[in-house]
Structure 1
Amino acid sequence: MSWLPELFDDHGAAPWVLVHSQQQFLCDELGALLPQAFWRSRGAASLLEVPLGQWRGERVLLVELDAPDHSLGQWQAVRQLMFSATGDEFSLYRYATQIGLWARQHRFCGSCGAPTQLLGYERGAHCPHCRLTQYPRLSPSIITLITRGDEVLLGRAPHFPPGMYSTLAGFVEPGESLEACLKREVREEVGVELGATRYLASQNWPMPHSLMVGFFAEYASGEIRVQEEELEDARWFALDQLPHLPPRQTISRYLIDTYLLERGRLVEPVLPG
């Protein structure tokens, strides 16, 4: 899969389109990747169009709409597609979601307010008036599995599906290291102190433009005190009595499954793309 812009003047050169708005995609019975000829036949107006690059050797055009138009067909949220798509398909949807949001939010210069132009040689929105170029945004965040022997500390946010618990996460503040962010977020959300930490893996996450950096963290001290603004519950779970967990496309599940494997459980962690 090539994420170079692969820009081209004639939009007809792209056989495929992704039609996106507000973290949702227009879909048919096969998914969100639609033939461009089919899309053009609908005659709908787009807010902007952005060449994405190549997927499986063929060019893909991102069509961004002002709002989801349900008269065009069925729409699915990128979170829904996460559960049904294969790994490389979800990587495509994830990338398109972030590029669509960036292109929508940078149609005008953040410095002088003039209209921007998408560059033809790199992924940038350039202001011809003040010459500021704005690039796609990434917001680093930590995500950590807190361990205590054969127990793990998991939390539950109000928006989670019923019964699901997950690892703790939070955004990095200006001036913070990843390790400092990890310890601060855990202290704020559940009130415990951490000992040794270990980096494991990362995942790009399109809600809306995060780079999730995954750690193991050993419990050091303290009793759980839930930060009610962030979580509705947090507790220790024995490894043989785990609750409903996040799906296997997520780095949270990868952290949990990897720790289970390290503790002798027969699982196969799936490294998220």
Structure 2
Amino acid sequence: MNKHYNFSLKARFTPVFRADEAASASSYWFIFQGEKLLTTVTENTSNSICTCSPEQLGLQPIFSQFLGRYGSTNCFVAEVGDNVTPAPSLRFKGLRSLFGTVEEDIFSLAGRAIQILHWNREHQFCGKCGTAMKIRTSELAKICPACGFVSFPRLSPAVIMSIIRKDHILLARAPRFPPGMYSTLAGFVEPGETLEEAVKREVREEVNVRIGNITYVASQPWPFPHSIMIGFSADYVDGEIEIDDDEIEDAQWFSLRNLPVLPSKITIARLLIDNFVLGSA
């Protein structure tokens, strides 16, 4: 039986859009330089997120925004320029590298923060008339003061699926993967498709096998840069593997005894594979 994984935050997150509504409680500041997040340097392998504003740290932000409250803690995102050098006790680190060294909820909140940052970078001007956009205070959106066009943060839905044939799972590798690593198939949903149709199409395009019994498992926000991964399991029906050379370089059936190098536990891909392992053990 499938185990459903939960990527939701343990505490409630309340989106708030006006900085003057920030409670006088503690705060998390997700301060980015490019794609890297500012953390404190510690003697062990753990990392801590800043609880002070950029100005309090002697840094001049080029953008900042109140995101909302995680429980009773205010959450802000800010960006500083490439020429900014933090104090020796602080360091900018790639977001992916922080998995496992910060609390899971903090990692998820950082992912939320960087998606808002990407949206701000990419929507400075109106796509209809070119006027500089203004942030709305009633919702997470930007509005053009000239023509009234409203822009919301973009999400790109993608399906990701484990394909099971009795005691084997179909895994593939892309050229960009680390040596020896295989993962589940995945792809973006196209306009007009249901999620199930996207699963069937991606499997057909990438490995040319037919599947059935498509079952939803879990979803995961994936802020690299703005996806939502929707995970499914499916049963193999028929067909021989024929890979799409433009997408992947190899695909194979793996048993529990000969699994290859697997994706990090940060990913829903790994959790789909873990479902197979639990079901086959």
Match of 1:20 in 2: 32
Structure 1 residues 85 and 157, CA gap change in structure 2 (3 angstroms):
farther
Instruction: Give the structure, 1 or 2, with the largest relative contact order (CA under 8 Å, sep 6 or more).
Output: 2
Match of 1:71 in 2: 85
> CA offsets, 1:2-57, max 9 Å, x none?
241252239896743211244321222263621325x3145433221111112342
Aligned pairs for 1:117-128 (under 5 A) are: 117-128=134-145
Q: Distance in 2 between matches of 1:167 and 1:26?
A: 32
Q: Check the 8 A contact 2:23/2:74 in 1, yes or no.
A: no
Structure 1 portions without partners, runs of 5+: 266-273
CA RMSD of aligned residues (A): 2.2
| Secondary structure in structure 2 of the residue aligned to 1:162 | coil
Structure 2 portions without partners, runs of 5+: 1-11
Comparing 42-51 and 179-188, the one that deviates more: 42-51
| Secondary structure in structure 2 of the residue aligned to 1:36 | coil
Shift of 1:96: 0.7
Match of 1:109 in 2: 126
1:5 aligns with 2:16: yes
Counterpart pick for 2:175 among 151, 158, 183 = 158
Match of 1:94 in 2: 111
Q: Check the 8 A contact 1:11/1:61 in 2, yes or no.
A: no
Match of 2:261 in 1: 244
Match of 1:257 in 2: 274
Match of 2:50 in 1: 34
Match of 1:204 in 2: 221
Q: Distance in 2 between matches of 1:34 and 1:7?
A: 21
Aligned amino acid, residue 2 of structure 1: F
Structure 1 residues 70 and 40, CA gap change in structure 2 (3 angstroms):
closer
Q: Distance in 1 between matches of 2:187 and 2:270?
A: 16
Aligned amino acid, residue 73 of structure 2: E
Shift of 1:119: 1.2
TM-score normalized with structure 2 length = 0.85
Q: Check the 8 A contact 1:116/1:127 in 2, yes or no.
A: yes
| Secondary structure in structure 1 of the residue aligned to 2:274 | helix
Shift of 1:157: 1.6
Counterpart pick for 1:84 among 86, 96, 101 = 101
Q: Distance in 1 between matches of 2:84 and 2:206?
A: 39
Q: Distance in 2 between matches of 1:3 and 1:246?
A: 31
Counterpart pick for 1:55 among 34, 54, 70 = 70
Q: Check the 8 A contact 2:19/2:65 in 1, yes or no.
A: no
Match of 2:5 in 1: none
> CA offsets, 1:218-263, max 9 Å, x none?
1122222222222122111012221121222321111111222223
Q: Identity across aligned pairs (percent)?
A: 40
Q: Distance in 2 between matches of 1:170 and 1:219?
A: 18
